[in-house]
Amino acid sequence: MPHIEIHQERAAGKQQELTALCPFGAIEFSDGKLSISAACKMCRLCIKKGNGVFEFVEDSLPGIDKSQWKGIAVVAEIEEGEIHPVTFELLGKAKELAAKVNYPVYCLMIGSGIDNAGTILDYGADEVFVYDQEELKYFRIEPYAAAVEDFINKVHPSSVLVGGTPAGRSLAPRVAARFRTGLTADCTKLDISENTDLDQIRPAYGGNIMAHINTPRHRPQFATVRYKIFSIPEKNPDHTGKKIHSCILPAESLKSGIEITKTQWKSQEKGIEEAEVLVVAGRGVKKAEDIAMLQELADLLGGKVASTRAVVEAGWVDAKCQIGLSGRTVKPKLLITCGVSGAIQFVAGMNSSEKIIAINTDENAPIFNVAHIGLKGDLYKIVPELIRQIKESRGEA
């Protein structure tokens, strides 16, 4: 296992100050020697600031022959015959990553009565592998995991991208465990190096840092990505050189301990993820009654009201309207934040919005670093004025 080695001779006379380097209290000094306890998070801060006292040692363990694993694969999500939009977003990102290392793009489709594999080719896949069997009509983890495992054993993709949906979050870790490989959940960015290692970037430690995670010794590499993180690529109906493969799972792989006796679909509700305009309430909103003012602005713009975690916890807005790492990821055409400071946990869920307008009294608020237009001022003066001017322009004043 990788570990941090301490050069005791270089620490002479400054042991006490070196123990203060670790924010987790993992550096201990006793019996005249420094040691590192199990509290170490491998953040490597001690290495950066320890002036050579601490050294990161990576064991020379045998790796894998990366030349045997090629291609970027996307696991499509299908609901009642319809392809979930996150699939197209992942295909766009897969195509971008594949171009950097000259890899093909694969897509895996699992279900029953699949007749839209050609659509997957339209959005960038070079080859589509379809597992179409009656037993795969509904999502059951055992046969679905078996299908992904069978696909990986056939194709050997270097990386596998899965939507960060309830089904994807259940499926990805199950398959990653079967291959004893790494999985990074809820990535906000993806990149790839020349040696085909996937650079998986996600917020960590409550969103206080952006962690870059790699899987250098194992293949395939797994990552889940939330809906609305990446953009959907342009549709290209040219299928020259592209292929659709029909695959079959053996009967024993279709067995499951889950029996579906009845399904009932909930009525479709348009959430904040689908809204083209969002007005977001933050800590700067003083009381619950003031949400009505933001709702009026949202209604005039044909949008919805969303919020930060603090407003949801206060009980002023429904949890379905929360933006951020512990809420929803959105990408509207227009997003107006009202009294939102812009903590990284919130920004990670909305920084891909086409136009961001921020209203805040604090000119140093982090939200201004991501906003396209910043308005320094009191939301209780600015929002009513926006409402008045919109109504006046429409002859409603």
**Got the DSSP string for 224-268?**
EE-TTSSPPPPP----TT-EEEEE---GGGG--S-------PPPP
Collect all residues with Cβ–Cβ distance below 8 Å to 205 and sequence separation of at least 6. none
Instruction: Please tell me whether residues 211 and 321 are part of one structural domain.
Output: no
Is pLDDT larger for residue 3 or for residue 291?
A: 291
Domain count, the chain: 3
Q: 213 has which bridge partners?
A: 200
The pLDDT tens digits for 225-253 are 999 999 999 999 999 989 999 999 999 99
Instruction: Please tell me whether residues 136 and 113 are part of one structural domain.
Output: yes
Alpha-carbon gap, residue 251 to 142, rounded angstroms = 12
Backbone phi, then psi, for 279, in 5-degree steps?
A: -110, 120
Alpha-carbon gap, residue 221 to 69, rounded angstroms = 10
Domain contains 201: yes
106-132 mean pLDDT: 96
Instruction: Please tell me whether residues 278 and 195 are part of one structural domain.
Output: no
Domain contains 262: no
Residue labelled with tokens 């941090």 = 4
Is pLDDT larger for residue 39 or for residue 206?
A: 39
Residue 366: exposed, middle, or buried by beta-carbon count in 10 A (0-12, 13-18, 19+)? Answer: middle
DSSP state of 320: G
Instruction: Output the domain CATH number for residue 385.
Output: 3.40.50.1220
The pLDDT tens digits for 145-204 are 999 999 999 999 999 999 999 999 999 999 999 999 999 999 999 999 999 999 999 888
Mean pLDDT, rounded, of the chain: 93
41-54 mean pLDDT: 91
What pLDDT is recorded for position 60? 62
The domain in which residue 117 lies consists of: 66-254
pLDDT higher than threshold 70 for residue 39: yes
Contact status, residue 37 vs residue 45, Cβ threshold 8 Å: no
Instruction: Please tell me whether residues 189 and 287 are part of one structural domain.
Output: no
374-388 mean pLDDT: 96
Instruction: Please tell me whether residues 78 and 196 are part of one structural domain.
Output: yes
Domain contains 227: yes
Domain contains 259: no
Confidence of residue 124 (pLDDT cuts 50, 70, 90): very high
User: Within its chain, how far is the Cα of 263 from the centroid?
Assistant: 29
Instruction: Please tell me whether residues 339 and 315 are part of one structural domain.
Output: yes
Instruction: Please tell me whether residues 47 and 144 are part of one structural domain.
Output: no
Is pLDDT larger for residue 42 or for residue 248?
A: 248
What dihedral angle (degrees, nearest 10) is formed by the CA atoms of 332, 79, 82, 249?
130
Instruction: Please tell me whether residues 209 and 319 are part of one structural domain.
Output: no
Alpha-carbon gap, residue 252 to 255, rounded angstroms = 6
The pLDDT tens digits for 79-102 are 888 999 999 999 999 999 999 999
Instruction: Please tell me whether residues 239 and 188 are part of one structural domain.
Output: yes
What pLDDT is recorded for position 61? 61
Instruction: Output the domain CATH number for residue 95.
Output: 3.40.50.620
